[in-house]
Amino acid sequence: MLIILLAACTSAGKKNRLATASSPYLQQHADNPVDWYEWSDKALAAAKKENRPLLVSIGYASCHWCHVMEKESFMDTAVARIMNENFICIKVDREERPDIDNIYMHACQLISGSGGWPLNAFALPDGKPFFAGTYYSKNGWMNLLTSISKAYKEKHDLVVKQADGLTKGIADEEFSFNKVDSTAVVMNNQGYQNLYDSIYLKTDTVHGGLKGSPKFPMPAVTEFLLQHYYLTGNKEALDAASITLNKMALGGIYDHLDGGFARYATDNEWRTPHFEKMLYDNAQLISLYAHAYQITQDDLYKTIITETISFSERNLASPYGGYYSSLNADTEDGEGEFYAWKEPDFKKITGAENLVAEYFNVSPIGNWNKGKNILFANHTPQEFAVLKKQTPGQFISLLNKTRKDLLDERNKRNKPAADTKILTAWNAMMIRAYADAYIATEAKDYLAKAIMIAKFLEKNMLGNNGSLKRNFKDGKASINGFLDDYAWTASAFMKLYSVSFDIHWISLAKQITDHAIENFYSKDAGLFYYTAANDSKLVVRKMEIDDEAIPSSNAIMAGVLYSLGVMYDNSSYSDISKRMLTSVVSKVNLFPVYHAQWCSLAGFFAQGTYEVIVMGKDAIAKSKGMQKKYLPDCVIMGGIDKEDLPLLENKLPENKTLIYVCTNKVCKKPVEDVADALSQVK
């Protein structure tokens, strides 16, 4: 009997293949009794050899319902037995392999009209999907497994027919690219105004963001509103952007004790967050608040910038120099419990008469789950102080001290775990965030941090030929980069050049972009595939056109090519950028709100841009003085003592610094004063 018990314990303690995965999310499933594979040739070969369908289960580390399904089903030996006997089971981290996720998510959307995570897809041994769904309860999952297995064995021809039709549907859903006259005007002022009008109609002018719920930050939409205000002077656009920024900053989606934003709010007033915190959201939002601060000089925005950066440094910075991917929504205590307060526990820290409980809407009955409270505010601290007949300084001092005390107490709880993989594209967003924050706030250490992350990517993710890796974990990178890795890294390095005038970064941006053109670009479609030509073994090779929480990688790349064309005076880059916009412009015109990044690019084609060249001994300081203003239509170049780029030639003065403001390489009279240069821009 003792021997049998020991054998059972040994078997139960055995790890599956995912124990050696690079993804922390996959490693979390290493103790499942499911015989998981990672996505690999080995898994597909096993499916073909044994003539078993694939079960592809896709999620990510901070996904609440992914963890629920694991506990209910994947840890259950009876469920695992059905899975192991009838399927080749593959676990995928959607953040590591968005290319795989993209295909099976499209299958799910075609079948049901919706999608989400966990995503569970069933496919032929060659990877063609024939059914897909999201979360299932244990009983529902067992019934589905039995039905799918039976259909695969007894109605195989019908299953194959379904898979062929579904795969064709996924391929056909790619944009039907128009052959557009390359000499035609891509976008004029009226077309640009029409894009704005459409987006404004979908904007919630009371609570901010887009109308309805749930509310996602969607930084690209608010960035477009800021750009439109800048280019047209339409204050309505700035007001719409400001409402979004203010409501998010005061809402429960923002962590008022530790800084940083949750992924989205489940309600339409930003009060109840979906609690995971993603690096990509926080990086984009730092940049967005930095741009808004440049325009408005609103102290609330500066506070959000500094607190969100501090949150990222405390919770997501790795010892390697890059930043981790996310913080989980769940702890041992449950989803979101780390952030919630019962009124007695809150007042134990703040005191019964403290106004902070009222400020954060903490009540005895609670504003969230089971009598607990999520902290959110209805007013800025200054506004609240006036309402309570206090001096703003007095209340803000109380608020800051109390927030620190509350954070100290909260940190005694079980903390959400970090997903410790480092992703190239998301770290590139963080480079941009630091650079934008540096320009807006003049905090020198922000520039140092941007350079630190850039050097991390250069050392660990960048090959000699301009190729990129996607992920970094435990000292090594293992997955080849996707288009978003190339687009965001090139964009980040260009931004770093514009604030430092270090030619090294723009040279790397060019190298990365050249590699992407060679390996990802389709001349027929005029757009880039998401996967490299020699790297995609999936059933469909897709293109990413639409914005989601992260803007379209094609739209980011089109912006990179636009600026590179200016900086290197190279029309081949500019022509690709223009062709990209012409390829999608009809779709952008139909659904601008889901293509806001393209809309911002359209603004450049409609209104034109400036080349701003700053040359001489004080070039960096004067460039920084220029960029303190929000200048989205300026491509900024320069140098102290070298003419590194074509447009810099013959512009280096002796013993002074000159600023050239040019349009289509025709320059106005150079000036020494930043204010004079700014007057030439507008």
Per-residue pLDDT of 76-112, as tens digits, reads 999 999 999 999 999 999 999 999 999 999 999 999 8
pLDDT of 537: 81
Complete DSSP assignment for 39-103: SSHHHHHHHHHHT--EEEEEE-TT-HHHHHHIIIIIT-HHHHHHHHHH-EEEEEETTT-HHHHHH
pLDDT of 331: 87
Residue with the bigger pLDDT between 245 and 180: it is 245
In angstroms, the Cα distances linking 72 to 75, 113, 223, 427 are: 7, 26, 41, 34
Measured between alpha carbons, how far is 200 from 295 in angstroms, rounded to an integer? Answer: 20
Taking 60 as the threshold, does the pLDDT of residue 6 lie above it?
Answer: no
Q: Where are the beta strands (DSSP E) in 284-439?
A: 326-327, 330-331, 334-335, 418-419, 422-423
Residue 378 DSSP SS3: coil
Q: Are 57 and 123 in contact (CB under 8 A)?
A: no
- The CATH number given to 14-172 is 3.40.30.10
Classify strands 129-133 and 330-331 as parallel, antiparallel or unpaired. unpaired
- The CATH number given to 189-329+419-608 is 1.50.10.10
Taking 90 as the threshold, does the pLDDT of residue 265 lie above it?
Answer: yes
Contacts of 349 (CB under 8 A, 6+ apart): 402, 405, 406, 409
Q: What is the largest CA-CA distance in the chain?
A: 94
pLDDT of 417: 94
Measured between alpha carbons, how far is 519 from 529 in angstroms, rounded to an integer? Answer: 9
**Domain regions of the chain by residue span:** 14-172, 189-329+419-608, 334-415, 611-681
What is the average per-residue pLDDT within 57-64? 92
Per-residue pLDDT of 625-649, as tens digits, reads 999 999 999 999 999 988 899 999 9
Cβ count near 177 (within 10 Å): 18
Per-residue pLDDT of 282-330, as tens digits, reads 999 999 999 999 999 999 999 999 999 999 999 999 999 999 999 998 8
Cis omega (within 30 of 0) for bond into 118: yes
Cβ count near 408 (within 10 Å): 11
pTM over 0.85: yes
Q: Are 551 and 600 in contact (CB under 8 A)?
A: no
In the structure encoding, which two tokens stand for residue 583, read together?
Answer: 């390829």
pLDDT of 11: 43
Measured between alpha carbons, how far is 543 from 335 in angstroms, rounded to an integer? Answer: 34
Cβ count near 334 (within 10 Å): 14
